[in-house]
Amino acid sequence: MHTKKSKSMTTYLNCAVGTLQAYVPSAASPWNDQRVKHLYRRIGFGANAAMIESALAKSPAAIVDELVDGALSQAPMTKPVWGDWAVSDYENIEDQAVIQYYELIDYWSKEFLSENPLRSKLVLFWSNHFVTRSEDYQCPSYNYDYFRILEENALGDFKSFVYDIGISPAMLIYLNGNQNTRFEPNENYARELLELFTLGRDNNYTQDDIVNVARALTGWNGFTEACAPINFVPSFHDNSSKTIFGQVGDWGYDELIDLIFTQRRTETATYICTKLYTYYVNREANEDIISELAQIFMDSDFQLEPVLRTLFKSEHFFDEAHFGGRIKSPIESIFGLMKEVEYPIETQQIDGDNFNQGLINIFFVNGEMGQALFNPVDVAGWPGDRSWINSTTLSSRWSLADFIIFDLFNQHKDRLINMVKSYVNNSNDPAFITKQLIDYFIPTILQKAVDYENGVMAFKYEVPENYFQDGSWNLDWEQEIVAAQIALLLRYISRLPEFQMA
């Protein structure tokens, strides 16, 4: 990643080369730890030593196929008993709804930390694309239904995805579709459907199109009580003639979705592939690569799986110019650390709850850092990139990393030491151990030798130098001291600017 500086701003340039042809390892571009970690950090939240070792024993194409196939076959969340509750089904909706919300957060968080987090990371992406805010509808059943749609369509048919999300109660409430009738059309969802969900801003549609799209969307107004299903009411639908994208007809919901995917195929394919590319590869779009992805998208009749499979296998994706080129979101930062240090979340379970209290605590801190699940900042979603980092959110990231690191130190010293052994082959050289750990947790090699030297100083802690010099120190030395050394080094690493990159 290179930069071009001006007086007013810094522009990041996408310097990567390579095509969408499958990446084939070579002497110049080896299949090594760094590329494996790049794959897992982008498609998920990092990898532990066992995952890296397993991936290195397979070809890049094989491991991508394994991950994609696994995500496609993964069962969705089991419908909870409250998954279709209306308000009359509750004894105390205020208290019960909070617990049910936590259950969703618990499930999703555990998916982040699973062996194959590809789908959960995609669901995070789609929740920031088809944005709703649970705070606006406050119905656990709507929240579950919305999440179900994200899971079931994450790698599937995008046209069906758009169709399902538009008539979900969460979206109908959030963007006022339930208020959109032939008597008083509401343009909120019509505008966002074109601007944010399919075509992209100002991309070959007009205000008249928005007006007529809103008319085509009328009629989804029928429900009996709060949190109950919202049904189509024919008498509230505008069945008169409408002109959309220059096409005239008595368009309803089904016909509208067809129009978008026939009359604006290229615009939709390009917009969605651009968003996927900037999420998974590089914040600066490569128009040639995106154009090829868009063609794959259209040729497959808007199936997401072939687009993602091609992208993740490509030599372009594995180009080292992309390594460390994205600022981690709060969720990527902390769940990545948890994954890579093998943090045992089961220790945070509290009897009687259907959720993990530790994960809920982490969820709240993520919210303070600007990324509360199911509640992006507005309909455009979290802007990401530099917006994730400021003096307040950075200190919160450090504090949460400290909690994870020192909870391991206090509760699981043996686990902490064994984790390090798996990365350094039980070496007793503090410089080697420090470099191996820094290079494991950082996506690119540190540019300054002094940063490695400072890491060595943090790792040596209060151990007398002669113990390192005569070789008497090793990772099987006094457990309390060795675990403290590792914790202090991890704390040092978590504060490096490069740690916040992926």
pLDDT (tens digit per residue) in 237-268: 999 999 999 999 999 999 999 999 999 999 99
**pLDDT score at 252:** 98
Note whether residue 136 is domain-resident: no
Residue 485 pLDDT > 80: yes
221: containing domain: 175-258
Q: Show which of 303, 322, 341 is a domain's final residue.
A: 322
Residues 62 and 22 in one domain: yes
Residue 8 pLDDT > 90: no
How many domains are there within the chain? Answer: 3
Report the alpha-carbon distance of residue 112 to residue 228 in Å, rounded.
30
* Banded pLDDT at 425 (limits 50, 70, 90): confident
Residues 305 and 397 in one domain: no
* Mean pLDDT, range 183-206, rounded to an integer: 98
Q: Which residues contact 322 (CB under 8 A, 6 or more apart)?
A: 1, 16, 38, 281, 282
Residues 285 and 251 in one domain: no
Contact 377, 132 (CB under 8 A): no
**pLDDT score at 139:** 97
Residues 350 and 465 in one domain: yes
Residues 496 and 356 in one domain: yes
Nearest alpha carbon to residue 61 among 255, 312, 241, 433: 312
* Mean pLDDT, range 210-217, rounded to an integer: 98
The burial class, CB within 10 Å (0-12 / 13-18 / 19+), for 47 is buried
Nearest alpha carbon to residue 320 among 49, 14, 64: 14
Residue 499 pLDDT > 80: yes
Report the alpha-carbon distance of residue 71 to residue 304 in Å, rounded.
12
Nearest alpha carbon to residue 140 among 92, 205, 196, 183: 92
Contact 293, 311 (CB under 8 A): yes
Note whether residue 90 is domain-resident: no
pLDDT (tens digit per residue) in 49-66: 999 999 999 999 999 999
Report the alpha-carbon distance of residue 23 to residue 42 in Å, rounded.
16
Angle at 191 between CA 221 and CA 304, to 5 degrees: 95
Residues 373 and 458 in one domain: yes
Report the alpha-carbon distance of residue 421 to residue 286 in Å, rounded.
40
pLDDT (tens digit per residue) in 97-128: 999 999 999 999 999 999 999 999 999 999 99
Residues 282 and 429 in one domain: no
Contact 12, 284 (CB under 8 A): yes
Residues 393 and 462 in one domain: yes
Residues 305 and 448 in one domain: no
Residues 243 and 310 in one domain: no
Q: What is the pTM of this model?
A: 0.95
* Banded pLDDT at 357 (limits 50, 70, 90): confident
The percentage of the chain sitting over the pLDDT mark of 70, rounded to a whole number, equals: 96
Residues 405 and 308 in one domain: no
Q: Show which of 258, 282, 298 is a domain's final residue.
A: 258
Torsion, CA 405, CA 406, CA 410, CA 413, rounded to 10: 30
Tokens for 232?
Answer: 């189509």
Residues 411 and 460 in one domain: yes
* Banded pLDDT at 426 (limits 50, 70, 90): confident
**pLDDT score at 352:** 58
Q: Show which of 322, 338, 362 is a domain's final residue.
A: 322
* Mean pLDDT, range 194-216, rounded to an integer: 98
